[in-house]
Amino acid sequence: MIPRFKPTLGWDEFAALFRRNTGAVEQFEKEFAKAFHAVDAVAFPYGRSAQWAFFNAVGLKNAEIIMPAYTCSVVAHAITLSGNRPRFIDICIDDYNMNLDLVVASINEHTRAIIATHTFGYPQNIDKLEEIVRLGEARYGNKIWLMQDCCHAFGATWNGRLIGTSGDVAVYAFNISKLITSIFGGMLTFQDQKLATKLRQWRNNLYAKPNILKSILRRLYLLSIYIAFNEKIYGMTWWLQEKSSLLNRFTKSYHLDEKIHFPPDYLERMLDVEAAVGLVQLERYTSIIATRRKNAEYYDKHLRRRENWKFPRISDGATYSHYVVQVPDRKQTVNEFAKKDIQLGELIQYCIPDIDGYQQLEQRCPIAEASSKHTINFPLTLDDVSKICAANDQSV
């Protein structure tokens, strides 16, 4: 079975699990800031926890925070759990990013922040975003914080500018399905040292040091990932996931998209062992992104256009967290490829304003809704995706 994604883990990450790693979190912060052109970076246990911490630390309460309707639901949870309200914006049909014209129309006197997500690795127009923030601030007289959500888009560029290097803050996340992993974990990056220091102090006051047991469990978790994603075993992993409920505890409980909640350890700091894995991954990230770009371009040329399939665009500066195609009948396509030992991803299967707990907000986002029903994504993490294109050719 070809997995829908596979973390790029090698010997060095394995070795990092068995070292002491003292001080690794501080070093990961430093190296991460350097790699992504920030003046400083502050590590957190999850991306969502980092976002939550930011809103709290800068004192946002009862504010409206603008975000895309089609993104990871935990972003909306971070807004809600920090005592603020998400305002959902529909996306653009061609790159899945938030429609910036709708953002302009939605800014009002309650707007205090905008989260701009570079969805599936497609860079959002940063120049336009900055202009929107400036005009909104001038019109309503409030500071509007600009957070770039780079969780899908490590290293993407807009007009040659690295994303995440403008606005007030950028957020990254590192679970095993992200472009690089630190087991779990999240990071905020800053261009302003004072703001970074404020967040670091705020975190140090509130976030507890994790215990030994957790650091052992996290090591075991990553070891199980090595095993589960082994080519010879992945068929069984897939079966356990799809046909039995044995793995639900690991694969589903972490997400729980239907409920506004955070994992119980969201107020514990990133572990040194996680940062140590992250440091190794950071050295690989250029080659990880190169593989994704190469495969996206290969699909673009060689994946046969089937009737009523909508293909994604190849875009300058994109880093392709997912290669997303829209198909009329998702279940049927996923089953068809599963029979050929190819797992397709089904991300993101929801439009956030349709999730329980957010429905009362009554914001209709038709493009996000349609996308949530029809998107599948093709594996990008293999060295060679020609087999997948060949399998697609054989189907009638």
Quick one: 96 or 190, whose CB is closer to ligand PLP?
Answer: 96
DSSP 315: -
Quick one: 144 or 173, whose CB is closer to ligand PLP?
Answer: 173
Closest distance to ligand PLP from the beta carbon of 329 (Å):
26
> Interface residues with ligand PLP (CB under 6 A)?
46-48, 71-72, 74-75, 117, 149, 151-152, 173, 175, 186
Closest distance to ligand PLP from the beta carbon of 240 (Å):
22
Quick one: 157 or 175, whose CB is closer to ligand PLP?
Answer: 175
Closest distance to ligand PLP from the beta carbon of 52 (Å):
9
How far is it, in rounded angstroms, from Cα 207 to Cα 41?
Answer: 16
Phi/psi class of residue 86: alpha, beta or left (left: φ > 0; alpha: ψ in -120 to 50)? beta
Quick one: 119 or 295, whose CB is closer to ligand PLP?
Answer: 119
The token duo for 9 is: 């883990």
How far is it, in rounded angstroms, from Cα 180 to Cα 203?
Answer: 23
Quick one: 48 or 292, whose CB is closer to ligand PLP?
Answer: 48
Closest distance to ligand PLP from the beta carbon of 339 (Å):
29
User: Which residues on neighbouring strands pair with residue 187, listed in sequence order?
Assistant: 43, 172
Amino acid at 22: T
Quick one: 146 or 388, whose CB is closer to ligand PLP?
Answer: 146
User: Which residues on neighbouring strands pair with residue 158, listed in sequence order?
Assistant: 161
Closest distance to ligand PLP from the beta carbon of 95 (Å):
14
Catalogue the E-assigned strands of the chain: 40-44, 64-68, 85-89, 111-117, 145-149, 157-158, 161-162, 169-173, 186-190, 323-326, 375-378
- H or E segment and range at residue 35: helix 24-35
Could you identify the residue written with the tokens 């060679």? 384
Catalogue the E-assigned strands of 280-374: 323-326
Could you identify the residue written with the tokens 């800068």? 58
Quick one: 172 or 378, whose CB is closer to ligand PLP?
Answer: 172
User: Which residues on neighbouring strands pair with residue 326, listed in sequence order?
Assistant: 310, 375
Residue 64 neighbours by CB distance under 10 Å? 19
Closest distance to ligand PLP from the beta carbon of 74 (Å):
5
How far is it, in rounded angstroms, from Cα 305 to Cα 239?
Answer: 29
Closest distance to ligand PLP from the beta carbon of 352 (Å):
11
